Amino acid sequence: MDTTTSGRRYSVGAMIFHWVIAVAVIVNWRIVEAAEHLGDAEKAPLMANHKALGITILLLTIGRLLWRWTHPVPPLPSNLANWERVLARTVHVIFYVLLIGLPIGGWLAGSFFGMGVDVFGIFSLPALPVGENPDAGKAIIGFHKTGGEVFIYLIALHILGALKHTFFDKNGGVFRMLPFGKVPG
């Protein structure tokens, strides 16, 4: 398969970053949902995994941005309405803001409780030098949770848009981000 964007399809690298990050985000959401109603003893290991996966998502997102800056993306399908173009670009920008902001916000919130992040025993990030302030930590956790909820709704919108473009508009939609399927030229 062509690893460039000479066609209407994203590059192989972009596809790998997209799908690995997508799966990681969904797994991380499910981890925190599973932990929500547990006691502290049962919740702690799940939240440690949530934090570690969040930092992994941050690192993957930085890699994806570097990839994107060095590998141009294919143009949007020509049959999109202007509002669809604006919505697509806006949602993608918000995705990147959340993919970077949520992990950093979670790390900052933990730092206000004096906690760093152990990333699956591979390396540890120390608490940021903000000093302990549990009230600030709780406030940031509230923003973090709201941002995560917004992210889930935007993911649903993104999936619905990809399906609409694939099956109704027949302009390639989801197949632009897969190594198979028909993407009209």
**pLDDT for res 176:** 94
Count of structural domains, the chain: 1
Is the pTM higher than 0.85? The answer reads yes
Six-digit token string for 9: 């399809």
**pLDDT for res 7:** 72
**pLDDT for res 185:** 72
In which domain, by residue range, is 169 found? Answer: 12-177
In a domain, 4, yes or no: no
In a domain, 135, yes or no: yes
**pLDDT for res 152:** 97
**pLDDT for res 8:** 85
Residues 111-132 pLDDT 10s: 999 999 999 999 999 999 999 9
**pLDDT for res 5:** 43
In a domain, 1, yes or no: no
Residues 58-99 pLDDT 10s: 999 999 999 999 998 999 888 899 999 999 999 999 999 999
Q: What is the DSSP letter of 180?
A: S
User: Using an 8 Å Cβ cutoff, are 8 and 176 in contact?
Assistant: yes
In a domain, 120, yes or no: yes
In a domain, 51, yes or no: yes
**pLDDT for res 116:** 97
User: Which pairs with CB-CB distance under 8 Å and at least 24 residues apart come from 60-64?
Assistant: 60/17, 60/20, 60/21, 60/24, 61/21, 61/96, 61/99, 61/100, 62/100, 63/17, 64/14, 64/17, 64/18, 64/21
In a domain, 3, yes or no: no
In a domain, 47, yes or no: yes
In a domain, 5, yes or no: no
Is the confidence at residue 29, as pLDDT, over 60? yes
Q: Where are the beta strands (DSSP E) in the chain?
A: 117-119, 123-125
